[in-house]
Amino acid sequence: MTIAEQIKQIREELHRHNYNYYVLDRPEISDFEFDQKLKRLIEFEVTYPEYDDPNSPTKRVGGGLTSGFETIVHRNRMYSLDNSYSKQDLIDWEKRLQKVVESDISYTCELKYDGASISLTYEDGKLSRAVTRGDGVQGDDVTANIRTMHSVPLQIQPPFPDIFDIRGEIILPLIGFQKMNKIRLANGEEPYRNPRNTASGSLKLQDSREVAKRPLECMLYSIVGAQTLANTQFESLELARKWGFKVPEHNILARTLSEVFEFIEHWDHHRNDLPYEIDGVVIKVNSLKHQEQLGYTSKSPRWAMAYKFQAEQAITILEHISYQVGRTGAITPVANLSPVELAGTTVKRASLHNADQIAKLDVRIGDAVFVEKGGEIIPKIVGVDMAQRKSDTLKVEYITHCPECHSLLLRHEGEAHHYCPNVDQCPPQIIGRIEHFISRKAMDIEGLGGETVTLLVTNQLIDNYADLYTLTKAQLLPLERMAAKSVDNLIEGIIKSKSQPFQRVLFALGIRFVGETVAQNLAKHFKSIDSLIQASQEELVAVDDIGERIAESVRSFFSDSKQLEIVNRLKSYGLQLEAQEAAVPISTLLQGCNIVVSGVFKNLSRDQLKLLIEQHGGKVVSSISSKTSFVVAGENMGPSKLEKSQKLGVSIKSEDQFLSEINAEV
């Protein structure tokens, strides 16, 4: 079997397994087997770039940065829908339909997903373009980001039109949204407000690798240009399923408006049973022939109507406000409410976010407040019923001292939160930092959870995460719920964590604004904790994805003598505070070369290009200087890099030129 045939075979296998797992939810192989096949394909594509395919399964992990999104005119306009809020609206709508369509009318009823609209174009069965709704006439080309979503097939099986569009909604399932927010809260960051805005914002991220990390899904609901293969909307949905698109199973064919009303009432009461947010039901005339007869107004199709559910709100009494302290010292006010039923659950607390939000709402103790439940971790207060306000209520005075350690709070200019500055002695901050350190994506210490951390801190066995590595069996056995076996597992887990790589240790330190990706970039660039500690603000900003705010936070962390003492202790305990040496290059063609990669590339992703450089002995650097050997430039090369390379006389090579030189010499 030739190389090309092997690559084709692996791609087809991965496409099939991806569909089975993400669309059918019926995996045929283990995650490990899938990852091994994907790894083998990546190796093939790096070694044989001439067989690159924009629809390869490897594109799911994302590529390089996009400096901007091209505006694309839709092949077929994306209309908005007319809204209705009552049964009478739908009855009036049907009367208008019957004036045009003389025969009986049936309808498809579909759930109205609360996400970001997208139009996908397929040519010869392959995804060629993905464009946001924009203003309906034109939108932004976000193809690179859409390719990372596993529920979007990169190619489909015949029969299919030569070219067609399929429309859908990019959504963020609630469980994925909640996981993302837990991570942000653990990192001391503001939680995302709701799934819809987060999904929409994800489409505009400039780094498709970041999009690939988000659990986004694409729900498809309309094919444009497949009339020869389907006669009705309901048939077109079945066709989309056969092609491998993710089409929810909750759609029905309704013969009468009475059946439409039953569908609406059912989902108005059961929408909270769904794994994602909906805000209504879309009713469409089923016959595509009838749709063509009815046509469009200047804004909307006459053959479709969106029935919008009323916002899920409840009214209850604000009993008091409590304040929580996060691991970074950020103070979050929480409204404690008289229990009220909302969206199928009993709500007792709601977020007030910060002092500005309290002032904006002018919410007061004893007020009757409107509570709304969306995709947030806890519900939020959206307003006050002023008609019920008592005359003796007082404005809320935001606390001035930490509720845990009573230190005077600070508020930095330009930030919404107040902070407790007592980093070393405030119990929630101590516990929070240690919990972050031991978390799965950081040191991943088995046998150690949040309750045990609290137990250790309370019993004064540890004050910081470095103390974990001094714990003994004799210290742990007397503690409550600590049997011999659990103690052995805990100590074994702590010892095992010493083998975690440098980038995970760096993430575990809990430096503000340093998440997983930033930690990886810093570890890869500086190679050791010592080099990072000595790095200047300018050197930090020169690293990929590092801005002024992150650089300032890193400098501040390592300027603290107490933090340096803890880092030195971790070093003495044997933790990995240096990056492991890279694998031996496959050639020395680029030995001694410092190479800058800039722009967007057509054959390889930025990561693949960087790997190729390293495999041939070269070093990838982020900024241009007199020591730069040359620049590999793709489309939209940064103007500052272009200007600096020209000023310093650094040569610029195109992607094709670079690849031809590599292939010619190997």
Domain of residue 23 covers 3-61
Whether 587 maps to a domain, the answer reads: no
Supply angle C-alpha 532, 465, 489, rounded to 5: 125
Q: Which CATH number fits the domain that encloses residue 619?
A: 3.40.50.10190
Q: Which residues are catalytic?
A: 112
- Residue-wise DSSP of 470-498: G--HHHHTTSTT--HHHHHHHHHHHHHGG
Nearest of 312, 22, 284 to residue 152 by alpha carbon? 22
- Shared-domain flag, residues 384 and 526: no
The per-residue pLDDT for 437 is 96
Is there a domain that residue 406 lies in?
A: no
Mean pLDDT split into 10-residue runs, the chain, 666 residues: 84 77 65 72 81 75 59 88 88 93 93 92 93 87 91 89 93 91 79 83 85 92 84 94 90 95 93 88 96 87 91 88 92 94 79 91 95 68 91 94 96 88 93 93 88 93 96 93 90 94 94 87 92 94 84 94 96 92 70 86 76 84 83 78 81 88 68
Clarify whether residues 284 and 136 are in a common domain.
Answer: yes
Q: Let me know the angle formed at the C-alpha of 199 by 195 and 203, rounded to the nearest 5 degrees.
A: 170
Q: Same domain, yes or no, for 225 and 292?
A: yes
**CATH code of the domain containing 150:** 3.30.470.30
| Residues 6+ away with beta carbon under 8 Å from 470 | none
Considering the domain architecture, whether residues 189 and 99 belong to the same structural domain is answered as yes
- Residue 86 has which token pair? 């009552």
What is the pTM for the complete model shown? 0.50
Q: CATH number, domain at 52?
A: 1.10.287.610
pLDDT at 506: 96
Residue with tokens 């019920």: 388
Question: Are 255 and 165 in the same domain?
Answer: yes
In a shared domain, residues 298 and 323: no
The reply to whether 128 falls in a domain is yes
Assess contact for 306 and 112: CB atoms under 8 A. Answer: yes
Picking from 458, 489, 453, 462, the residue whose alpha carbon sits closest to that of residue 473 is 489
159 preceded by a cis bond (ω within 30 of 0): yes
Strand partners, 516: none
What secondary structure does DSSP assign to 161-212, as a single string? -SEEEEEEEEE--HHHHHHHHHHHHHTTPPPPS-HHHHHHHHHT-SBHHHHH
Q: Which residue has the tokens 């946001």?
A: 132
The H or E element that residue 639 is part of is helix 639-648
Same domain assignment for residues 660 and 634: yes
Is 578 part of a structural domain of the chain?
Answer: no
The domain spanning residue 445 has which CATH number?
A: 1.10.150.20
| Of 228, 234, 265, 274, the residue nearest 252 (C-alpha) | 234
Domain count, the chain: 6
Is 579 contained in some domain? no
In a domain? residue 131 = yes
Residue 641 corresponds to which tokens in the numbers above? 């890099």
Residue 326 tokens read as: 């996060």
Determine the Cα–Cα distance for residues 6 and 10; give it in Å rounded to an integer. 6
Kindly state whether residues 127 and 9 are assigned to the same domain.
no
Domain end (from 363, 388, 413)? 388
486 and 511 co-located in one domain: no
Tell which of 388, 411, 442 closes a domain: 388
d(CA 282, CA 300): 13
Domain end position, chosen among 366, 388, 410: 388
Residue partners of 210: CB distance under 8 A and separation at least 6: 62, 517
Say what the pLDDT of residue 65 is: 47
Does one domain contain both 27 and 84? no
Residues 628, 622: Cα–Cα separation, whole Å:
10
For residues 629 and 594, give the distance between their C-alpha atoms in angstroms, rounded to a whole number. Answer: 5
Taking alpha carbons only, the member of 428, 435, 429, 427 closest to residue 508 is 435
Determine the Cα–Cα distance for residues 645 and 318; give it in Å rounded to an integer. Answer: 61
Let me know if residue 420 belongs to a domain.
no
Q: Which of 545, 546, 522, 544 is nearest to 534 (CA)?
A: 522
Residues 361 and 247 in one domain: no
404 within domain boundaries:
no
pLDDT at position 375: 46
Query: What does the angle CA 262 – CA 265 – CA 266 come to, to the nearest 5 degrees?
Result: 85
- In three-state secondary structure terms, 108 is strand
- Do 524 and 432 have their domain in common? no
- Exposure string of 514-541, with b = 16+ CB inside 10 Å and e = fewer, is bbbbbbbbbbbbbeebeebbebeeebbb
For residue 120, give the nearest of 134, 141, 137, 135 by alpha carbon.
141
